[in-house]
Amino acid sequence: MSSSPPSSGDLDRTDSVSPRFNVPTARAIVDCAVYVQGRRLPGRYTHESALAEVRARGEGFVWVGLHDPDPEQMADIAATFALHPLAVEDAVTGRQRPKLDRYDDTLVLVMRTVAYVEHELHTVSEIVVTGEMLVFAAPDFLVAVRHGEHSGLAGLRRELEADPVRLALGPAAVLHGIADFVVDSYLDVAQSVGDDIDQMEEAVFSPGRPMAIEPIYQLKREVVEMRRAVVPLGVPLQTLAKPDAPLSKEIRRYFRDVADHHTVVAERIHDFDETLSALVSAALGKVAVQQNTDMRKISAMVAIAAVPTMIAGIYGMNFDHMPELRQVWGYPLVLAIMVTICTGLVVAFRRNHWL
């Protein structure tokens, strides 16, 4: 026996008499809907009334989206959906390593999200920001908990709602959609970071173009952070694609495709790390070459300045008996010798590219 969804008036009456609906949980819920045969049922639902609707019908599932819930809000959700306390603790604390857990018939997939921050190439700034997505998937509900200001799922929800055949596969299809959405964002961020690395590479190997090392170190640090967020997700995705995964054959095929895309991103991140290490070495080598060039110029200038200094020092000793000391042509002769020797040194240094 099925029941009709509550009307807005019913919800208003519920708000006035049910203290539970007035708890802050509603503020953490981005969207809550019931899906039957791949189609969203009309009407507004709380997370409690949505689950009651599904279980009264005996078909369909609930999809609840949460953003940065606090412990009290998450405890309310956990009580409604009977979530395991350990998984709930992970959802509240955040900053978890990507992993896949199973509690009875509930799968818990933890993913790290990444986003690219537009910036000036030669400035030291934050380039990649990370967040977290934790998904509880059971036969009759899916709860997605998001931490961070990026990677919203509103667009994904609209996309899945436009494809009832796919959504009719149940919460597993939504789980795949979220994983695919997160991995696709990895691809986009990797493309932007790759463009930054290409520009840095061009700057480092362009002759006569100064390049600070600090932005390279900064980008390398951001790539390390991205690697920590992205690479560990490979094992959970491979697990969900295995034949013994608690998913339908069709969904496992979808997860194999996501795992392949993730492998591409992981390989690109590994290449980024190696390229940046090479760029650091090349930039340091470029700095060393420039320093050697500067030292040669300084040495050449010192050598040129030493000649007149030496001659002037000798004739400044004020001895009475010195050659050419009382000759009329003595002073211009000494100046001419200084100019000749210094000019010869300048020509010699220029031929050897010291000046």
Q: What is the pLDDT of residue 110?
A: 94
Q: What is the pLDDT of residue 210?
A: 66
Crossing angle between the packed helical segments 154-161 and 171-204, to the nearest 10 degrees: 130
Of 80, 61, 38, 15, the closest CA to residue 168 belongs to 38
- Integer Cα distance of 284 and 302 in angstroms: 27
Give the mean pLDDT of 268-293: 82
pLDDT of 1 > 70? The answer is: no
Residue 173: Cβ within 10 Å count: 25
Walk me through the domains of the chain, giving residue ranges and CATH numbers. Answer: 290-351 (1.20.58.340)
Are the CB atoms for 111 and 100 separated by under 8 Å? no
The three-state (H, E, C) secondary structure of 196-251, written as one string: HHHHHHHHHCCCCCCCCCHHHHHHHHHHHHHHHHHHHHHHHHHHHHCCCCCCCHHH
**Exposure of 64 in the CB half-sphere (CA atoms within 13 A):** 30
Assign 49 a pLDDT band (cuts: 50, 70, 90).
very high
Are the CB atoms for 99 and 236 separated by under 8 Å? yes
Q: What is the pLDDT of residue 2?
A: 39
Assign 121 a pLDDT band (cuts: 50, 70, 90).
low
Q: What is the pLDDT of residue 24?
A: 65
Q: How far is CA 69 from CA 26, 130, 168, in A?
A: 10, 17, 28
Question: What is the spatial order of strands in the sheet that 99-103 belongs to?
Answer: 39-40, 29-36, 61-67, 141-147, 128-138, 106-116, 99-103
Average pLDDT, rounded, for the chain: 83
Q: Which residues make Cβ contacts (< 8 Å) with residue 272, sequence separation at least 6?
A: 190, 193, 194, 197, 223
Give the type of residue at 24: P
Q: What are phi and psi of 286, to 5 degrees?
A: -65, -40
Lowest mean pLDDT among 88-97, 148-157, 315-324: 315-324
pLDDT of 13 > 50? The answer is: no
Q: What is the pLDDT of residue 5?
A: 43
Give the mean pLDDT of 200-228: 81
The three-state (H, E, C) secondary structure of 58-86, written as one string: CCCEEEEEEECCCHHHHHHHHHHHCCCHH
Assign 321 a pLDDT band (cuts: 50, 70, 90).
low
pLDDT of 10 > 50? The answer is: no
As a whole-number percent, the residues of the chain with pLDDT over 90 amount to 41
pLDDT tens, residue by residue, 84-109: 999 898 888 877 889 999 998 999 99
Residue 82: Cβ within 10 Å count: 12
Of 199, 225, 224, 186, the closest CA to residue 279 belongs to 199
pLDDT of 175 > 80? The answer is: yes
Output DSSP code: residue 36: E
Of 278, 238, 232, the closest CA to residue 258 belongs to 238
pLDDT of 8 > 70? The answer is: no
